[in-house]
Amino acid sequence: MKKLIPIFLAICMILITGCQSEQAFYQEIQEINDTVDQADWKQTKAGVKKLSKVYKKQKWKLQLLGDEAEYEGINVELQVLKQSVQAKDKTQVKVSLGTIRGHLLDIYSF
């Protein structure tokens, strides 16, 4: 029984820190959305880089919380997002952000 307590505490910590990383994702997505609305493509590109860094840093948590299709779907959609920003395709950027948000909702809804 005593061996289960540290495991339980570790799982709780992962879930708590996972929720904090969830907010980081949503904050970056909102900032990118705002810069696209303003047609500030330089800031949008910087925001996408930040979002990619957040994803790379938090990927291990996403792997624990979600299934492969969800966290890999985010990775694929980030590549689409980068190409859309480069092409300055406002509609596709918004679609990609919505898809990423959907994958995150699937992962974090437990």
The whole-chain average pLDDT of the chain stands at 87
Mean pLDDT of 32-50: 96
Fold of 4-108: Four Helix Bundle (Hemerythrin (Met), subunit A) (1.20.120)
Q: Which residue has the tokens 């406002």?
A: 90
**In the chain, pLDDT over 70 holds for what percent of residues?**
80
pLDDT-derived band at 34 (thresholds 50, 70, 90) equals very high
**pLDDT for 16 beyond 70:** no
One-letter identity of residue 85: V
Q: Give residue 7's pLDDT.
A: 66
Cα distances (Å, whole numbers) of residue 20 to 24, 34, 39, 45, 100: 7, 22, 29, 24, 17
Question: pLDDT digit string (tens) for 53-91?
Answer: 999 999 998 888 888 899 899 999 999 999 999 999 999
Q: Which residue has the tokens 């299709």?
A: 69
- Domain coordinates in residue numbering, the chain: 4-108
Is residue 44 within 8 A of residue 93, CB to CB? The reply is yes
Categorise residue 88: left if φ over 0, alpha if ψ from -120 to 50, beta otherwise: left
What CA–CA distance (Å, rounded) separates 4 from 21?
A: 26
